[in-house]
A and B are shown apart, each in its own frame.
Chain A
Amino acid sequence: MDKERIMIRVDHVTKKYRLGMIDGASARKDRRYRRTGNEEYAADTILAVNDVSFDVTEGEVVGIVGHNGAGKSTLLKMISAVTVPTEGEICLGGKVASMLEVGTGFNPELTGRENIYLNGAILGMKRKEIDAKIDEIIEFSECGRFIDTPVKRYSSGMYMKLAFSVAVNLDAEIVMMDEVLAVGDVNFRNKCIAKIMEISRSGRTILFVSHNIHMIRMLCKRCIVMNEGRIEFDGDVEDAVHRYVIEDVSNEEGRNLADMERVLDSDGLCHMEHIELIDGKAGNAYETGEKLHFRLSWTAEKKLPPMQLRIGIWTDDKRAVGISYSEIFDPWENGTDALAFDTEVELDISGLAPGKYNLEMIMLEIFMDGSFVKHDALRGTIAFSVSAAPGNLLYSRYNNSWGYFDVSPAKIESSRQTDGRQTDREGQDL
């Protein structure tokens, strides 16, 4: 391709919103501002989108991530022309279908079929186009039996399924989605993802806003990270994901825990000061099948009953993989009065799949009835990576469907023949 066609050009776009209520007081203030030009009477404003520029070429699937209030949805609203920018301009090279919210314009009194036509028309489809696709849409929605029932009788799941089906079956060159995949059950969601992939393969341009980083990773190659109205990063999705979610907790010299913010509840009787991996691995990098050793330095307010460590393993994009309860230990069993200890721990991570992980560390006391009390708790204490050991034949992994944990190799105990066939050599079993 000698020249890529630009489908979306966002050119120095800014969107300003005013804060506060609109009432008699604000009207008086506005009037005073217009008359005097005194900044004191100007309305408080916020730049929801601040001087943003980017291009999207045909067939690209671009993810947009950012924390709440970063300006993602405002940006999509402007691209779909629901509102206009305060400054700058947006140029579009094709018809836009926005799925800003699934089910927009559904009327509860109308039947599923009528709503498909209505919703399709709102999204810019012609009646003939809908006629041609209605069977496909109904089948995709899995609502076939209820299609001639008013949608107010639908369950909320069915409602969303039907709405999504209309939206994904649109023929627009540019498709925009804002958190639309939070619908339906797991099966339906997978179907939707497959459909979106199909859309992107068909050369259509997709803008995809989501908090679900896995979805972004799966669907997009390019990703834009927004923060406080500005583009913080625009480029390869892996780099973007690292910027957006991944806690950079890797630290070869260990990590000082004393001043980390405690977000989890605990009674504070213990205080973790420092954690360090003691396997001497460069970059905290392990290979599959290896075990991990760390040293935890901690202090206590007073002597405490025997306790346990609960070690949670998390992926770098904040998914819990599993936990390990340590053996019960009692640092005071030799009668010491010390209140500061270094505890060395071996953690068997040989089953962990290649990937990036970090450890959650909780010191707790478990009572006979199964209840427990946390003495100190921290998330994201230290990070490490696991890569495939050399000689591992499988060089590709699909964590989304394979998970993060490899159960130790299944042992083949026997294989007995169950039909009557014989080999040439009489009487010999296989």
Chain B
Amino acid sequence: MKYNIHMNSSGKWEKVIRPHGRLLQVDLKGLWAYRDLVLMLIKRDFVTQYKQTILGPAWAVIKPLLTTLVFTVFFGGLAKLTTADAASAADLVLPGFLFYMLGTVVWDYFAAVVSETSTLFIDNQQIMGKVYFPRLVMPVTIALSKLISFVIQFALFIAIYVVCAFAGLAEVHLSWTVILFPVLMLELMLLAASFGMLISALTVKYRDMQMMLGFFMQLWRYGSPLAYGLLLIPETWRTVYLLNPFAPVVTAMRCVMFGEGFFDWRFYALSWVTVCALALIGLAAFNKTERTFIDTV
């Protein structure tokens, strides 16, 4: 058999499979070529999610409503935790319900993406062990597919908000900044996907991380200003507290939605730095794992 190794690098091949690849590569071309797969998987997730339930997709709105109710009763009604992010916002008339609902809806999306992405290799080993497709299809699908129920829940939030405004229960201080909401959402998507991808890479070989993740997410939820306003955190600790990239984003979200609150460019910029760093680490870990995960999963 004749072999001419030099031919390989001439680019005449459609694809070359090597032991090592570039760690920070994002195969956008491949992702685009498989866009139909992303759509099909999203459709599959949506169709199968509420199969054999009586209430069906109604569950998408029932769950956050119940959580919001629990928060309103316990954190607002009984514990009487503040819902203000900044001292100046004290005069803002805002029912606690809206405060908790926005946080719940956003967090539910975030947590769902993290937890599903973190087990994507284990959950999809059947498919991924048999057929090749750009592996980034999976995190992209998860981030987009969870967006469907988020949009439904968010629409409900808006509806309740509007009703409250007309009933005079809430003051509306909307400004043009509300159009920045998608940017904040994008940042959360990126954060959730990156963090999930990092965990997914770590769970392939040792499942310990999976055990830890549930506890960690619980901690993260209560370490973020969701059940209380930022004002609850003592001034001296606030800088440390705001290093959590989720915190400045969620306060910024309340800022653009309710027109008042806490927004500091420095912390917000820092959250982007953290998210981008995490994205690079997550991507590298994911790319490294993706190539041979089927041998160890």
Question: Which residues of A are interface residues toward B (Cβ below 8 A)?
Answer: 9, 11, 17, 22, 27, 53-55, 77-96, 98, 100-101, 104-105, 107, 109-110, 114, 117-118, 121-127
Contact = CB atoms under 8 A, between A and B. Distances in A.
B102 to A, nearest CB: 33
A88 B19 contact: yes
Interface string B1-42: 101010010001111111111000000000001101101110
A83 B295 contact: yes
Given A83-B292, A89-B17, A117 B40 contact: yes
Contact of A118 (B14, B40, B128, B130): B40
Given A114-B47, A118-B44, A78 B37 contact: no
A90 B130 contact: no
A126 B44 contact: no
A86 B36 CA distance: 32
B48 A110 contact: yes
10 contacts: A9-B8, A83-B294, A84-B20, A85-B17, A121-B36, A122-B127, A122-B131, A124-B33, A124-B37, A126-B36
Query: Which of B14, B51, B130 gathers most chain A CB within 10 Å?
Result: B130
Interface string B132-151: 11000000000000000000
Nearest to A27: B206
A16 B129 CA distance: 17
A395 to B, nearest CB: 35
B126 interface: yes
Contacts of B133: 122, 124
B291 interface: yes
B218 interface: no
B34 A84 contact: no
Report, nearest first, the 6 A-B pairs whose CB atoms are least far apart: A121-B37, A81-B132, A90-B17, A104-B130, A91-B13, A100-B130
Given A107-B44, A110-B48, A127 B36 contact: yes
A105 B14 contact: no
Contacts of A93: 12-14
Interface of B: 1, 3, 5, 8, 12-21, 33-34, 36-37, 39-41, 43-44, 47-48, 51, 126-133, 205-206, 291-292, 294-296
B16 to A, nearest CB: 5
Contacts of A77: 129, 294
A397 to B, nearest CB: 34
A54 B13 CA distance: 16
B136 to A, nearest CB: 14
Nearest to A174: B14
A372 B73 CA distance: 83
A104 B47 CA distance: 19
B34 A121 contact: yes
A80 B34 contact: no
B14 A53 contact: no
Given A110-B47, A114-B47, A118-B40, A82 B132 contact: yes
Contact of A91 (B1, B8, B295): B8
Given A93-B14, A114-B44, 13 more contacts: A11-B3, A83-B291, A83-B295, A89-B18, A90-B16, A91-B13, A91-B15, A93-B13, A105-B130, A117-B40, A124-B33, A124-B37, A124-B133
A124 B34 contact: yes
A125 B35 CA distance: 10
A92 B15 contact: yes
Contacts of A86: 19
A240 B12 CA distance: 31
Query: Which of B14, B41, B294, B296 gathers most chain A CB within 10 Å?
Result: B14
Contacts of B126: 104-105
Contact of A81 (B13, B17, B47): B17
A59 B15 CA distance: 18
Nearest to B296: A22
A109 B43 CA distance: 12
A22 B205 contact: yes
Contact of B1 (A53, A84, A92, A96): A53
A122 B37 contact: yes
A84 B127 contact: no
Contacts of A118: 40-41, 44
A244 B45 CA distance: 46
Query: Which of B8, B18, B39, B132 gathers most chain A CB within 10 Å?
Result: B132
Contacts of A121: 34, 36-37, 39-41
